[in-house]
Chains A and B, each alone.
Chain A
Amino acid sequence: MKKLIIRLLIVLVAVYVLLSLLDFKGEYSAERSLWHINQQMNLLEREPEAVPDFTFEQIIRRYRDFIKAYSHSPLVPQAYMWIAKVDLVRKNYDAARKVYAEIPAAFPHDPQHIAEAMAAIGETYEVQKDWPQAQEQYQKTIRLYPTTVVGLKLPLYIASRQAQNDPADKSEAFGRAITQYKNVLEHSRDKEIRTAALKLMVSADLARQDWPQVVKYCREMLMADADERSLREAIYVINVAAIVHMKNYDLPVEIYKEFMKKYPQHPMIGLFKGMVVNITRLKTNHVKITPRQEGK
């Protein structure tokens, strides 16, 4: 009996050791290693004033060791971002900016991470209440990497910050963001980027309550046959903008019919047919939906 247990235990341990060795220093161990360092960092972040400086140094060392040990991991840029965050937590903004500046040099062919790092530098200026410097950094990011995730989000972010600082400039600020997105649409053929740009344009026009423009950009999204999630979002926004705010029942019906004509075999065709029927019924029954009822 004891022999059996020992033999079976040996098999289990051998399988464990073998499978661990086969993925030694692999992506999974990188994830685990970074997660554990991040956990320690999250603890420090709760009360940074109570944390002695050498603890921060120690955690930075751990991140640096991680970068050395898993130099080929796609998580390395994240590790750099975390190192900078350690400096941000202890309000050492210059040091944080230095770390962010390491990223373009370390990943010259990774525009997403470079843009993220550049925007993060802008954020550090913002934390220091240096908006002109932050804005300059953001604009630089948009100029150099307009089609990255961060590069796409920044025009809308800048507009909302400008609108916050100067409410009178709200419409102009969002208008500038839209101009930048139109520029992206002109130059990019990538479907995902175009959908993202259109979505952001919709957000900008929603912010300034320009309902006809909102419907126009959503219609463009539909006709470009975006992904299912984006289509559903566009349908929702069209319904709210056209029916609730513009009191125009014909416009969405017209758009959905146009979509059905263009994509008769589309997997979501049933949804569009249902929309047309329901909106027509609302119109026939003279049902008025006010903004307050819209969520019901």
Chain B
Amino acid sequence: MTSKSLRPKPFAVLNSSISILFQHPIIFYPLVISVFFQLLALEIFYFAPRPPLSVFFAPLISRLWGPEFLHYPYNFLLLPKLFYYAQVVIYLFAGGFLLAVSIRLIGAFNNDKKMSVKEAWKDCWPSYIHVLLASFLSFFLFFAFAKSYNNLYIWAAKIQAKGGVHGFIKHAILGSGLYVQFLVGILITAVLIYVIPIIVLEKKKIFPAIGLGLKFFWQSFWFTIVVVLVPTLFYLPVLLARDKIPALMTVTFPEIELVVLVVSTICATLVDCIIAAAVTTYYLYTKENPARPSA
């Protein structure tokens, strides 16, 4: 048997990762806390226009976005934006680290070792700053892309032509925004996906972890892309629903937005968890069988 045929298949790794998650639900523990913080933030922003929270939030919202967003149902137009800001802060300062704790647990269970959340937490804590920097890097890349794409979108919207090459470019950019962002999001996630596992499992600092992570990603490019893409595809309908929130609100009721945001938060966390489990499993497997990625 050649080394190539021994290479683990993406679906097999995803399958075994899901099995590990169900065998050891404790892995979800840190991520449940992350979801909790996000939903708590959502709740706070939902109640922001009303007393007693309005005492603090009303002047802020009124000054930054306008007083109309303090009233029903316009507050629901602002809610996703506020929630997004909260998610970014939670992801940067807590979410990335909690994911790292889960990865540490996955690593331990992959090696048939027992580990509690407390032990994993203690083990990961010295690497907090490196995980934080990795989270910042990941966010920065997403942000830079989103900003650039937004500029491109504005440029395309200004194109006057309705037909021809210019018209085609205009419609391609304006019509494919969500899908391009989705695919580039997958690529950015995939590029940096091994950085946190390397920080946590190898106790590496941020820069060596980035170097090793990029090398590992390059060696297993298609595997990583598939492992990130497949679970994320399940998130696509939720992403589409998030994109169509204003239309959904019109045909149903404004509160539907809360449902979409809650479901999207839970789905995104589940997807992150499955991807983390798959790449950690693959990373550990490859480490034990060094010939794999270069096969």
Report which A residues bind B (CB closer than 8 A).
1, 4-5, 8, 11-12, 15-16, 19-20, 22-23, 26-28, 31-32, 35-36
**Contact of B72 with A28 in the complex, beta carbons under 8 Å:** yes
| Stretch binding the partner chain, chosen from B24-32, B194-202, B210-218, B221-229 | B24-32
Residues of A within 8 A of B47 (CB): 19-20, 23
Is A22 within 8 A of B52, CB to CB?
Answer: yes
The listed residue (B29, B53, B72) touching A1 by CB distance below 8 A is: B29
Interface-side segment among B5-13, B36-44, B275-283, B284-292: B36-44
Contact of A19 among B36, B43, B72, B73 (CB under 8 A): B43
CA distance A60 to B191 in the complex (A): 61
Q: Which residue of B lies closest to A32 (CB)?
A: B72
How distant is A46 from chain B, measured CB to nearest CB, in Å? Answer: 15
Minimum distance in angstroms from B66 CB to a CB of chain A: 15
B50 is an interface residue with CB less than 8 A from chain A: yes
Contact B51 A11 (CB under 8 A): no
Contact at B49–A8, with CB atoms within 8 Å?
no
**Chain B residues with a Cβ under 8 A of chain A:** 25-26, 28-29, 32-33, 36, 39-40, 43-44, 47, 49-53, 71-73, 253
CB–CB A4/B32 < 8 A: yes
Complex-state Cα separation, A249 to B243, whole angstroms = 51
A/B interface sample: 22 pairs, CB < 8 A: A1-B25, A1-B32, A4-B32, A5-B32, A8-B33, A8-B36, A11-B36, A11-B40, A12-B43, A15-B43, A15-B44, A19-B50, A19-B53, A20-B47, A22-B51, A23-B51, A26-B51, A27-B50, A28-B71, A28-B72, A32-B72, A35-B72
- For the complex, give the distance between the alpha carbons of A8 and B52 in Å: 23
Given the interface pairs A15-B40, A19-B43, A35-B73, the reply to whether A8 lies near B50 with Cβ below 8 Å is no
How far, in angstroms, from A1 to B50 measured CA to CA in the complex?
34
- Report yes or no: A28 in contact with B49, Cβ–Cβ below 8 A: yes
In contact, B26 and A1 (Cβ under 8 angstroms): yes
Chain B nearest CB, measured from A33 CB (Å): 9
Given A12-B40, A35-B72, do A28 and B32 touch, yes or no (CB 8 Å)? no
Residues of A contacting B: mostly: helix
Q: How far is the CB of A262 from chain B (nearest CB, A)?
A: 30
Give the complex CA separation of A36 and B32 in angstroms. Answer: 35
A31 vs B28: C-alpha distance when bound (angstroms): 40
Complex alpha-carbon distance, A28 and B52, angstroms:
12
Closest CB of chain A to B257's CB: distance in Å?
A: 13
Task: Give the distance in Å from the alpha carbon of A19 to the alpha carbon of B44 in the complex.
Answer: 9
Given the interface contacts A12-B43, A26-B50, A26-B51, does A31 sit within 8 Å of B71 by beta carbon?
Answer: yes
Alpha-carbon separation in the docked complex, A1 to B24 (Å): 10
Cβ–Cβ < 8 Å partners of A36 in chain B: 253
Report A-chain residues with C-beta under 8 Å of the C-beta of B39: 12
Shortest Cβ distance from A23 into B: residue: B50
CB distance from B269 to the nearest CB of A (A): 13
Residue of A nearest to B74 (CB): A31
- By Cβ-Cβ distance, the 7 closest A-B pairs, closest first, are A31-B72, A23-B50, A19-B47, A8-B36, A28-B50, A32-B72, A1-B25
User: Nearest chain-A residue to B262 (Cβ)?
Assistant: A12
In the assembled complex, the CB of B35 is this many whole angstroms from the nearest CB of chain A, namely: 8
Q: Are A8 and B72 in contact (CB under 8 A)?
A: no
Take A12-B40, A28-B50 as given contacts and tell me if A4 and B72 are in contact as well, using a CB distance cutoff of 8 Å: no
B32 and A8: CB pair below 8 A?
A: yes
Docked complex Cα distance between A26 and B40 (Å):
22
Which residue of chain B has the shortest Cβ distance to A12 in the bound complex?
B39
Which residue from chain A places its CB closest to the CB of B73 in the assembled complex?
Answer: A35
The distance from the CB of B38 to the nearest CB of chain A, in whole angstroms, is: 11
**Shortest distance in angstroms between A17's beta carbon and chain B's nearest beta carbon?**
11
Complex formed: what's the CA distance from A150 to B17 in Å? Answer: 68
Kindly state the separation between the CA atoms of A207 and B26 in the bound complex, as whole angstroms. 75
Cβ contacts under 8 Å, B71 to chain A: 28, 31
Please name 4 further chain A to chain B contacts, defined as beta carbons within 8 Å, in addition to the given A35-B73, A36-B253, sorted by A numbering.
A1-B32, A23-B52, A28-B71, A31-B71
Q: Which B residues are CB-close (under 8 A) to A16? A: 43
Give CA–CA (A20, B40) in the complex, Å: 14
Tell me the complex Cα distance, A20–B255, Å.
14
CB proximity of A183 to chain B, nearest CB, Å: 33
Question: A8 CA to B40 CA in the complex, in Å?
Answer: 10
A32 to B254, CA, bound (A): 10
> In whole angstroms, how far apart are the Cα atoms of A26 and B55 in the complex?
14
